[in-house]
Structure formats: C-alpha cells, structure tokens
Amino acid sequence: MATTTATINIASADLTDNALNITNTATLNKKGNLVGLDTIISATKTFTSGSAVDLIAIAGFTGTAANKVYIANTGTSESDFFTIGIQTEEIGRLYGGDWMFIPWDASADDDITITPSVATAMTAEYMVFS
C-alpha cells in the first residue's frame, strides 16, 4: 500500500507582531478507505507560447476519487507567471518559485489549463495523485 504524505511549513519572523511558525501534515488516501494515493503523472514541461493549453486532462481520472494536483513555476521571474484555470475559471497565478497543491474533482470538462504570461521559455512541474 502506498503512503503519500503532504507537509506544509509556513514561517515568518516579521509577518505578525510575533514570529509565525505553522506546520501541518496530511496523509493522502483514496476516497473512503486508508489506501494511499498513487502518483499518476509526474512531469516537467517547458512552454514557449503565450497560448492556453490543457496541462492536465480528465481522461483516465475518476471524478469521485480523492485526486490531488501539485503545480509549480520553476522560474525565478518576479513578473512572468502562469495563469492556472479549471474550465473557464482562472484559479490563480504562479510567479517564479510559486506552487500550488489542490484537490481536483476531475469531472467532465474540468481539465486544468495553463497559460504562460510571455512567449519565452517558461517551465512548470506538476504531479497528479489519484
């Protein structure tokens, strides 16, 4: 049985009046049981166009599963970004060094799209757990 664990640590010495340090860990399991999620996709892709494309298509995924998606902008630019969307909804922008980790329903027409802000080489890494 696979065991997939996600951990986040948020720390800052100057975000609040006092130092901030929050850590949380979750074991990611398939829907309705204690079986760990499997890595279905693990990839890096470089884009050289400013056009929107499907980064992760729903084909092969179950909408009722406990899917999780990780996407990161591996660049360092403070101005170039990826716009991430589901269907026609923009869910956010990932600037250089930014990342996201979200649950994903993978229902009909819920492909995850990515749009680079510039037509020069930008690289994203992504993983899907299902």
**Residue 1 — very low, low, confident or very high, per pLDDT cuts 50/70/90?**
low
The reply to whether 112 falls in a domain is yes
**Residue 96 — very low, low, confident or very high, per pLDDT cuts 50/70/90?**
very high
Overall average pLDDT of the 81-90 stretch: 92
Q: Which two tokens stand for residue 33?
A: 């049981």
Is the whole-model pTM more than 0.75?
A: yes
Overall average pLDDT of the 78-90 stretch: 93
The reply to whether 38 falls in a domain is yes
Task: Please report the DSSP string for the chain in residue order.
Answer: ---EEEEEEEEESSSSSS-EEEEEEEEEB-TTSSPBPPEEEEEEEEE-S-S-EEEE-STT--TTS-EEEEEEE----SS-EEEEEETTEEEEEEETT-EEEEEE---TT--EEEEESSSS-EEEEEEEE-
Query: Of the ranges 6-10, 47-51, 105-109, 118-122, which one carries the lowest mean pLDDT score?
Result: 105-109
**b or e along 98-128 (b: 16 or more beta carbons within 10 Å of the residue's beta carbon)?**
eebeeebebeeebbbbbbbeeeeebebebbb
The reply to whether 5 falls in a domain is no
Distance CA 67, CA 58 (A): 11
Candidates 95, 96, 128; CA nearest to 112 is 128
The reply to whether 15 falls in a domain is no
The reply to whether 1 falls in a domain is no
Overall average pLDDT of the 88-92 stretch: 91
The reply to whether 62 falls in a domain is yes
The reply to whether 37 falls in a domain is yes
CATH number at residue 76: 2.60.120.10
Q: Indicate whether 113 pLDDT > 90.
A: yes
Give the domain extent around 90: 29-129
The reply to whether 7 falls in a domain is no
Look at the chain and report how many structural domains it folds into. Answer: 1
